Structure 1
C-alpha cells in the first residue's frame, strides 16, 4: 500500500505536499467565503473567481506541458510554488489591512491561475521521475491520499479560523505552508531521480501533442469525458458554499464541514486505489464517471444538511476513482518524451472548462435554486459516462491474429489487436518451458 514511500525523494515530496496542501485548502475555503462576503452572497461572483483562477489553463497548461518536456521539472516546480506563495501573501495583506475589494480577489485569482497552469503538468509528470514506472500507480494513489487528507484538514481548520480571526490571516498562514514543499524539492537527490529524456526544442510541439492524443481512440474518449465531468460535475466549490449559506443559512464552518465530508470520501477512495495491485482500466474510469453523476444528483436532492453531508462521502470516493483512473491510464500508456504535453492537455480538459461551467452554474444557482448546479452537473456527468461507453462499444474493433512460432517456441503466439490498446495484448505465449510443464499430468 505504501511501496512508493520506499523512495527517499518521494518521501520528501509527500511530506512537503501534505503541509502545503493543507494551506491550499485553507485558502480555497477562505477565498470562496471572502467573495461571498464582498458580494453579499452572490453565487455568480464565486463562479467568476473560479473562471478567472482556472481560465489560464486554457492557454497555458499545454505550454506548461511543453516546458515540462523540455526542462528540469523540479526547477519549474520551485518557481511556480514561490509565485503562488506571493499571491497568497498579497491577498492576505490586503485583507488584513482592510483594503481588499472584489476586483483584488479577481486579479489575484487570475495570477494564481497562471502559476497553477504551469505547475500542474510539471507536477503530474514529475511523479514518475521520483518513483519509476513500476511504482507509479501506487504513487498516484498516495498523491491522492495526501491531497485528500489535506482536503479533510484544511477546510475544517479554515472554517474555524475564519470565524475566529477572519479570512485575511488564513491567507497569511497559507504563505508559511509553502515552505514545506519548497524544502522538500531543495533536499531531493537529483541523481536518484528517474529522469526522462528531455524533448528537443522545435516548432509544432503543441500541435504534435494534440495530434498524438486525437490519434488514439482511448485517449480521445477519455479527454472528452474528463472535460464534461470536470466542467459541469466537479462544481463543489460553488455548490457547497452556496448551499451552506443560502439554502441551509449556515456559516463558514458549515461550508468547511461539507468540504471535509467530501474529502473523507475521496480519501477512502484513495486508500482503496493504493491497495490496488493492477492499474485501473478504461472501463473503471467510465463506470466511475457515470456512478459519480448519479450520486451527485442524489446529493442535490437531499432535503437536509446532514443528509447532504452523508451523501458526499460516496460521491467523493467516486470522484477519486474517476480522477486516479484517468491519471494512471495517461501516464502508463504514453511515451516519456510526450508525457508532459499529454498531461498538459489533460489539465486543459480537467480545468479548462471551469471558466465556462462556473459562471453558468453560479447563474443557475441564483435564478433557479442553489441545488441546481449539483442536479444538472450530475445529470451531465451521468450522460457523459454512459455516452462514452456506448461510443467505444460501437466503434472499437477486435481481431484475432496468430503469429507463427519464433525460434525456441513450439506453439504459435495468439494476440488480440484492439484499437483501444497501443500495443497487441499477448494472451498465449507457449514457450519451451510451458510445453515441458504441460507434460506433467498434474498440470
Structure 2
C-alpha cells in the first residue's frame, strides 16, 4: 500500500536543524556552495572572452556535470561500503586542490580554454564523489520522517548560495576578473573540511560487498528491479535534459538578449537562486497537500512556462521574474525526485540508488547543456528557450505511464533477524544455489503462486540470479523455489537485508505449506574437480549439498 505524504502532519521544515551534526555540515555547505557559484560565474564569463561561441560557453556547464555521469555510481558504492565521512573528506580535498590550481593559473595569466574545461571537470569530479555520500548520510543524521525536510534544507542551502554567490561573483568579475572568484572558491572548502575532521560518527555497520564492482552490480540490480526507482530515474533525466538550458546559456541571455554585462549575469543567477530558496521553503507545506507526482507536474508546468518567457523577454525585470519562477520550479522538481529515491530504497543501497539517480539526472543535464548550446547556435538564443519549454511540457505525458510514487515503509524496514544455528559453513568464493521445497495442497495453490511471484521479485531486486519455480512432475503438490547467489557471504547479506514486506510473503508461503516439518531449505555450492579421462579432459563443475 502506498504511503501518501499528505496523510498526516509531519515535522516542520526546520526540524532537521535540531540535530547538531546535520546543522554543522549544512552551514559549512552553504559557504562551500557560495564558493562553487563564484567559480561557475567566473568560469562561464572567462570562457566568453577565451572562446565566445555558445557551444564553448555551454561546455563549462556540461563538463561540470559530466563527472556525475561518470563517477557517481562508483562513488555511491564507496559511500555504502566505506566510512562515508572519509569519502566526503577525500572529495573536499580533490575540489580544494583543483580550485587552488585554477586560481594560481588565473593569477599567472596562463588559463586556456582547455585548461579551464579540464579543471572545471576535476572540480565537478569532486562534487560527483561527494554528492552520494552526503545525501545518503542524511538518513543517518535525521529520522526517516524528517528526510524530506532535510533534503529540502540541503537544496535550500545550495540555492541560498546560488542567490548570493552569482551576485557577488558578477561584481567581483567586473571589478577584479575571474581569478578572485577562483581563489575564494578554494578557500570556501576549508570550513567543510574542518567540520569533517572534527566529526566523529559512530562506527556504521556495513554489509560490505565482495568488491566495489560487486557493490556497483548490486546497486544497479536493485534499481533495475525496483519500479519506483526506475520511474524516478526516467522522469528526472527528462527534466534535467530540459532544465539544463537555464544555467548553460544564462551568460548569453545577459549578453545577447538583454545586452548587458557580468553584473547583470550575476543578478540573473541570483534571481533564480532566490526563487529556488522560496521553493525549498515551501516544499514542506506543499508535500502536505500534494503527492510527489503532483509536485513534479506542478514543477514542469511552472518551469516550462518560465522558460518560454525568458526566450521572449527583452526586459530585465520580466526576465528576472521568469528566472525567479524557474528557480522555484526546478527546486520543486529536483528535490521531489531526490526525496522519492531516498523514500523508495533501504539504507544498505541508498548511496548507490542516489548515485544512479544523479548519474542519469545530471547526465541528462550534461547532454541538455550541449544540445541546447548547439540549438542556440543554429536558431539563436531567443528561439531556443521556447523550443526547450515545449519539449519540457510534453514530458507531462510520461506522468500517465510512469507516475512517481513512494512505497510503504514495510518494503524498506529491516525485519528482525532470526538466528538460524543450522546454517552451514561454506567455502568463500564459490557460487551458491538455494532450493526451498514446499508441499502445497490444491486449495492453497493460487495463494502460493501469487506470494512466490512477489517474493521472487524481491529476491531478484536484492541480487539473486536465475530465480525459478519448479513443480514436481509426479507429485503436483510439490514445488521447489530455486535461486543462485554469487557467494555464501552474499547469501548471508541478503538474509540481513530482508524487509518486513519480504517477511510477510515468507510467512504466507509457510502458511501454504503442509507437512510435519516447515519448508525445507537446501544449499548447494560449486566444487571444481579435474577429469583426466578422454580428449575433453579439464575442469568440470559439480554441485554438492551443504550440510
User: What SS does structure 2 have at the residue aligned with 1:186?
Assistant: helix
- Cα deviation 1:333-356 (Å, max 9, x = unaligned): 201111011011011112112342
Partner in structure 1 of residue 210 of structure 2: 201
Instruction: Please say if residues 80 and 119 of structure 1, whose CA atoms lie closer than 8 Å, have aligned partners that are also in contact.
Output: yes
Residue 231 (structure 1) aligned to one of 215, 231, 241: 241
Matched, 1:44 2:55: yes
- Cα deviation 1:395-419 (Å, max 9, x = unaligned): xxxxxxxxxxxxxxxxxxxxxx9x9
Task: Check 1:237–1:92 CA distance in 2 against 1; reply closer, same or farther (3 A cut).
Answer: same
Greater shift, 135-144 or 216-225, is seen at 216-225
Partner in structure 2 of residue 390 of structure 1: 400
Distance in 2 (CA, whole Å) between partners of 1:368 and 1:140 is 38
Please give the root-mean-square deviation of Cα atoms over the aligned residues, in Å: 2.3
Task: Check 1:213–1:290 CA distance in 2 against 1; reply closer, same or farther (3 A cut).
Answer: farther
Matched, 1:60 2:71: yes
- Cα deviation 1:158-211 (Å, max 9, x = unaligned): 0001111110011001111111111122222413x8x46443234543233223
Query: In the TM superposition, what are the counterparts of 1:141-290 in structure 2 within 5 Å?
Result: 141-191=152-202, 195=204, 197-202=206-211, 204-275=214-285, 278=288, 280-290=291-301
Partner in structure 2 of residue 407 of structure 1: none
Query: In the TM superposition, what are the counterparts of 1:95-106 in structure 2 within 5 Å?
Result: 95-106=106-117
Partner in structure 2 of residue 331 of structure 1: 342
State the Cα distance separating 1:15 from its structure 2 match.
Answer: 1.4
Instruction: Please say if residues 37 and 161 of structure 2, whose CA atoms lie closer than 8 Å, have aligned partners that are also in contact.
Output: yes
State the Cα distance separating 1:257 from its structure 2 match.
Answer: 0.3
Where do 5+ consecutive residues of structure 2 fail to align?
1-12, 404-453, 458-498, 502-547
Q: How many equivalent residue pairs?
A: 394
- Cα deviation 1:256-288 (Å, max 9, x = unaligned): 000000111110011112456759523322332
Partner in structure 1 of residue 148 of structure 2: 137
TM-score with structure 2 length normalisation? 0.68
Instruction: Please say if residues 84 and 116 of structure 1, whose CA atoms lie closer than 8 Å, have aligned partners that are also in contact.
Output: yes
Where do 5+ consecutive residues of structure 1 fail to align?
394-416, 425-443
State the Cα distance separating 1:43 from its structure 2 match.
Answer: 1.1
Instruction: Please say if residues 57 and 249 of structure 2, whose CA atoms lie closer than 8 Å, have aligned partners that are also in contact.
Output: no
Residue 127 (structure 2) aligned to one of 116, 135, 140: 116
State the Cα distance separating 1:48 from its structure 2 match.
Answer: 2.2
Residue 9 (structure 1) aligned to one of 8, 21, 35: 21
Partner in structure 2 of residue 30 of structure 1: 42
Distance in 1 (CA, whole Å) between partners of 2:401 and 2:247 is 31
Task: Check 1:392–1:367 CA distance in 2 against 1; reply closer, same or farther (3 A cut).
Answer: closer
Greater shift, 201-210 or 275-284, is seen at 275-284
Residue 21 (structure 1) aligned to one of 20, 25, 33: 33
State the Cα distance separating 1:319 from its structure 2 match.
Answer: 0.9
Identify the structure with bigger relative contact order (alpha carbons < 8 Å, sequence gap 6+).
Answer: 1
Distance in 1 (CA, whole Å) between partners of 2:338 and 2:90 is 24
Partner in structure 2 of residue 402 of structure 1: none
Distance in 2 (CA, whole Å) between partners of 1:356 and 1:234 is 8
Instruction: Please say if residues 35 and 185 of structure 2, whose CA atoms lie closer than 8 Å, have aligned partners that are also in contact.
Output: yes
State the Cα distance separating 1:242 from its structure 2 match.
Answer: 0.6
State the Cα distance separating 1:59 from its structure 2 match.
Answer: 2.4
Instruction: Please say if residues 66 and 340 of structure 1, whose CA atoms lie closer than 8 Å, have aligned partners that are also in contact.
Output: yes
Partner in structure 2 of residue 431 of structure 1: none
Greater shift, 215-224 or 246-255, is seen at 215-224
Instruction: Please say if residues 88 and 130 of structure 2, whose CA atoms lie closer than 8 Å, have aligned partners that are also in contact.
Output: yes
Instruction: Please say if residues 229 and 344 of structure 2, whose CA atoms lie closer than 8 Å, have aligned partners that are also in contact.
Output: no
Distance in 2 (CA, whole Å) between partners of 1:199 and 1:374 is 46
Partner in structure 2 of residue 126 of structure 1: 137
State the Cα distance separating 1:294 from its structure 2 match.
Answer: 2.8
State the Cα distance separating 1:96 from its structure 2 match.
Answer: 1.3
Instruction: Please say if residues 32 and 237 of structure 1, whose CA atoms lie closer than 8 Å, have aligned partners that are also in contact.
Output: no
Instruction: Please say if residues 239 and 374 of structure 1, whose CA atoms lie closer than 8 Å, have aligned partners that are also in contact.
Output: no
Give the helix-richer structure, 1 or 2: 1
Instruction: Please say if residues 228 and 380 of structure 1, whose CA atoms lie closer than 8 Å, have aligned partners that are also in contact.
Output: no
Partner in structure 2 of residue 435 of structure 1: none
